[in-house]
């Protein structure tokens, strides 16, 4: 049995995601595929995640791929969270996500949608969004007109307000291929229909994409990343030709024959934004967040809530940026003293951050006092 060490796995994951060296002659969609999706609950962080991995790219390049060229789509992905996905991968994503068993609906009786009502809302969304770009208010009016007053009952507590009942089905509709985000209209979020496509059998294909990016892994780790029952994840693994490997005292799986790893361990400094895919999907988490990083850089065990300093492939600190016009004040807190080489590379990364975000950065090395992103 092939044995893979953490340094080998870390190096190969970084290489495959463009974090060892930025990828040349690739598009934002290429990297979104390689990363198995880009978290974009904070859209600027998703833009940063992608541009960081592309040689010379800026957030404008990502925005163009999203809103003009059509190579990317903003929609609900793993765990029902907002992601940037390669448009060409939508048949796989919808084919997989639409087969995940529905999670327990925590809404009380009289509030939650019935299965029949959920189906009505999904099909209504599909109809009203085809060829249209609507704000949430406009979409709500259209859905209620298509279904009935029950869909518009404001029964969902949300952010010191009450949302209409139909909004329980938004992420589900995206997973069915009926809905995605459109470009903001001022400060208002909009929704539209994704480009026309036919869903493909996607469960095994998505597991393969995950294993290529983040393997070796177990079905339990895949289930946690995707937000799905372990049984479903095990069935997805069962659709693939896999190879078992020994990995840091346990057993895990890779795609058959995919056991190669770079000869040299990961090196260098990277500034990863909120919710970067590398730190959310990478397991085992205690190796990615060693020592003090496990307490300082995680939010009660949850990854992604802090922008992270990656030192030689593992988390070695947190950072924060505050923008005022073109000026970007960058504070970096490291959990260990930096070598002269790391300090020089940190300066380079801050300069690169300014290029990506199209601003003028100024670095301070010191304590980050800003709490985690919700």
Tokens of 234: 């095990």
Tokens of 346: 């940190």
Which of 284, 307, 281 shows the shortest CA–CA distance to 35? 281
Give the confidence band of 158 by pLDDT, cuts at 50, 70, 90: confident
Per-residue pLDDT tens for 222-232?
999 999 999 99
Q: What are phi and psi of 167, to 5 degrees?
A: -65, -15
Pairing of strands 327-334, 314-324: antiparallel
Share of the chain above pLDDT 70, in %: 100
The answer to whether the beta carbons of residues 195 and 87 sit under 8 Å apart is yes
Share of the chain above pLDDT 90, in %: 93
Domains in the chain: ranges and CATH: 3-192 (no CATH), 203-255 (1.10.10), 269-365 (3.40.630)
Q: How far is CA 207 from CA 115, 219, 368, in A?
A: 27, 9, 37
Task: Inform me whether the pLDDT recorded for 262 exceeds 70.
Answer: yes
Per-residue pLDDT tens for 51-109?
999 999 999 999 999 999 999 999 999 999 999 999 999 999 999 999 999 877 777 78
The answer to whether the beta carbons of residues 345 and 268 sit under 8 Å apart is yes
Task: Inform me whether the pLDDT recorded for 12 exceeds 90.
Answer: yes
Confidence (pTM): 0.95
Query: What pLDDT score was predicted for residue 374?
Result: 65
Per-residue pLDDT tens for 301-313?
889 999 999 999 9
Query: Of 122 and 111, which is predicted with more confidence?
Result: 122
Mean pLDDT of the chain: 95
Tokens of 161: 């307000």
Query: What pLDDT score was predicted for residue 160?
Result: 77
User: For 23, which DSSP code?
Assistant: B
Per-residue pLDDT tens for 279-296?
999 999 999 999 999 999
3-state secondary structure of 187: coil
Mean pLDDT of 105-124: 89
- Give every strand in the sheet of 72-76, ordered side by side: 38-39, 82-86, 72-76
- Distance between start and end Cα atoms, the chain: 42
């Amino acid at each position: 049995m092939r044995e893979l060490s953490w340094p080998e796995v870390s190096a190969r994951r970084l290489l495959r995601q463009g974090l060892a060296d930025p990828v040349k002659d690739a598009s934002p969609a290429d990297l979104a595929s390689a990363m198995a999706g880009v978290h974009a609950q904070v859209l600027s962080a998703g833009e940063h995640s992608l541009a960081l991995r592309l040689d010379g790219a800026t957030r404008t390049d990502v925005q163009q791929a999203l809103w003009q060229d059509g190579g990317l789509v903003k929609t609900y992905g793993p765990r029902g969270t907002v992601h940037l996905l390669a448009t060409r991968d939508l048949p796989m994503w919808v084919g997989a996500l639409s087969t995940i068993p529905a999670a327990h609906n925590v809404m009380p009786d009289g509030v939650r949608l019935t299965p029949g009502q959920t189906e009505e809302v999904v099909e209504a969304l599909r109809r009203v969004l085809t060829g249209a770009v609507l704000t949430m208010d406009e979409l709500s009016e259209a859905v209620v007109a298509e279904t009935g007053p029950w869909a518009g009952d404001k029964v969902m507590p949300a952010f010191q307000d009450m949302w209409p009942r139909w909004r329980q089905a938004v992420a589900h509709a995206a997973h069915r291929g009926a809905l995605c985000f459109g470009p903001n209209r001022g400060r208002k979020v909009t929704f539209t229909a994704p480009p026309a496509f036919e869903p493909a059998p996607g469960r095994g294909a998505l597991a393969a994409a995950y294993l290529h990016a983040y393997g070796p892994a177990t079905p339990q780790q895949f289930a946690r990343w995707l937000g799905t029952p372990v049984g479903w994840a095990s069935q997805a693994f069962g659709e693939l030709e896999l190879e078992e490997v020994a990995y840091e005292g346990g057993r895990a799986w890779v795609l058959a024959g995919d056991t190669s790893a770079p000869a040299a361990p990961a090196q260098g400094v990277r500034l990863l934004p909120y919710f970067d895919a590398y730190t959310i999907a990478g397991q085992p988490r205690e190796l990615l967040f060693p020592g003090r990083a496990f307490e300082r850089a995680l939010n009660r065990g949850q990854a992604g809530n802090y922008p992270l300093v990656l030192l030689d492939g593992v988390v070695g600190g947190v950072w924060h940026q505050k923008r005022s016009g073109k000026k970007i004040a960058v504070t970096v807190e490291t959990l260990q003293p930096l070598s002269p080489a790391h300090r020089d590379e940190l300066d380079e990364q801050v300069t690169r951050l300014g290029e990506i975000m199209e601003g003028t950065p100024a670095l301070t090395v010191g304590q980050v006092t800003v709490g985690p992103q919700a």
